[in-house]
Structure 1
C-alpha cells in the first residue's frame, strides 16, 4: 500500500527546558539559634571549587537566596562574618537535585568573637548552705576564695538562679531580695533586657 506525505504539513520543533533549582541559606547566632545575622559575606562554589557567585551578603533576616542552579553539589564559604562575630571556617554543603519541588534550605551559624566575649565577661554563682546557728562568713573579692569552701558550708544543688541586667538605678545601691525578685518578674522574658537562668549542679555552681 503506498504512503503519501502531505508537503503542506508544518514542521515540529521540540524545546528542552533546563532543569534548575535554588537554595536558601539562613545565618543565625549559634547560641540563640533565633537571632538572625545580617551583613555576612559568602561565596558559592561547585564540587570542583569553581566560583559560581561571590559577594553574597545576608539580608536583614540573615538570608541569602541563589536561583538557577544546575543539579549538582555546591558549597557556601563564609568570607567575612558580621561585626562582633567570628567567621565559620567550615563549608556549608548542599545538593541540587532534578525535578525538586522547592528550594533547598541550609543553616549556618556564627559564634561571638573572642574579643567580644572578653568584653562581656562571665558570672559564676556558688550556692552554699550552712547548718542552723552557724556563723555565715562574709565573702568578698573576685571569687577565688570559693576554691576553698568556708567552714560548715555545703553546696546546694537544684536551685534555679536568674541573672538579669539592671538598667540605670532601677534597684538602688542596696536592693532587698524582695525588690530584686519584683524587678526580675517585671522584666522576665523581655528580649531587650539581657537575662539568663540556670540550675545549680551537684557542686552548687
Structure 2
C-alpha cells in the first residue's frame, strides 16, 4: 500500500499508532564473536546503535493499534515484536551498525523489512572499521510500505562494517528481521589475499540498481 503521510510529531509514538514500550538497544555483547549477524532483536546479535547522538535505536515491544498504524504507514501489516525503531526530530541520529566484519568470502545477501513514517528514509552503506563510508545505496525513497530490502554484496577482502543510516528528517523508522547470509572470516584468520597480478578483482561495489534494492511490498 502507499505510504502514509501522517504529520504527527515523532515525539508522540501513541499518535502514530505505536502503542509500544521501548528500551535501549544493547551495545555489542562481549561474546559477539560467537553470534550471528542475523537479528530479530529477541536475543543478542552483532548490531548496535552507533553515533553518540541524543536519539538512539531502541527495542520495541507491543502491538501497534491497527487503524492508527494504517493511517501512519499506509499498511495494515505490523512488525513482529520485538523490533527496533528510532525517532527522528530533524537532528542527527544514530545509525544501526554491525561490529567489524573481518572479511567476506564470496558474495552475501543482506535483507530486512522496514517501515518509514513521516519524512524518514534510510540508506545502506558499507564502511571501514572506523565508520567511514565507501559505498552507499542512496536513500531508498520508497512510497510503498512495508519495504523489503534485498541487497547483494560482493566479496570484500578487508575488514568492514554494514550501516543502516537515516536522512535525519522528522519521522520514525522501524526495522525488523535482519538477515546477513554470508561466509565471514573469524578473528585469528587473515583477510583474503588480493587478486594475483593480471587478475581482475571483484571489487567492493554494491551490486544491483536502486530499483532492485528499494522497498518492495512483502507478500
Scaled by the length of structure 2, the TM-score of the pair is: 0.24
Please say which structure displays the higher CA radius of gyration.
1
Scaled by the length of structure 1, the TM-score of the pair is: 0.25
